[in-house]
């Protein structure tokens, strides 16, 4: 069995968690740049992960505060997956990854960091993106500042008509 080491995530793991839902708080606030929200749809939004596994690690998050996939109406479900496709297209256009990991972690044993508000993780991957820094130094190199990535992705979304 191989082990996946992600020591750069320790900052998030050890950080003090908000008492209220971080996603619900973001939705209510009117500061998308601060909250790294890239796009607001009718039922879901696209946000950057503040503690990314890779540059361009994005999430699709429903406005509905729910930890389950059942009970969604057709519009919510359709837009959720449409935004997942938009995220993949956006990252292909801007970052040219070799592949993607997409995942929804339901429950703490599955790795959900935010238990009560379901979200889809979209992580761009490049051949060789786990290199000697990760393996030998237990350090992840994120080569671009998160705000620079945000500005680049927002501009690309506008070019895409979003």
What span, in angstroms and rounded, lies between the C-alpha atoms of 34 and 26? 9
For 16, which DSSP code? Answer: P
What span, in angstroms and rounded, lies between the C-alpha atoms of 93 and 116? 32
Cα 77–146–2 angle (5° rounding)? Answer: 75
Active site residue 57: no
Place of tokens 């699709």: 60
Q: Are 113 and 49 in contact (CB under 8 A)?
A: no
Of 43, 57, 117, 119, which is the active-site residue? 119
Residues classed as catalytic? 119
């Amino acid at each position: 069995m191989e082990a996946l080491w992600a020591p750069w995530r320790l900052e998030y793991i050890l950080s003090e968690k908000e008492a209220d839902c971080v996603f619900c708080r973001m939705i209510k606030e009117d500061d998308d740049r601060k909250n790294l929200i890239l796009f607001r749809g009718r039922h879901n939004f696209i946000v950057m992960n503040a503690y990314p596994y890779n540059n361009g690690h994005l999430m699709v998050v429903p406005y509905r505060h729910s930890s389950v996939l059942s009970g969604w109406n057709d519009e919510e479900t359709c837009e959720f997956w449409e935004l997942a496709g938009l995220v993949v297209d956006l990252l292909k256009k801007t970052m040219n990854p070799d592949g993607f990991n997409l995942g929804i972690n339901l429950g703490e044993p599955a790795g959900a960091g935010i238990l009560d508000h379901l979200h889809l993780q979209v992580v761009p991957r490049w051949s060789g993106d786990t290199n000697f820094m990760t393996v030998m130094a237990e350090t992840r190199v994120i080569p671009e500042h998160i705000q620079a990535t945000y500005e680049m992705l927002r501009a690309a979304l506008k070019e895409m008509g979003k």
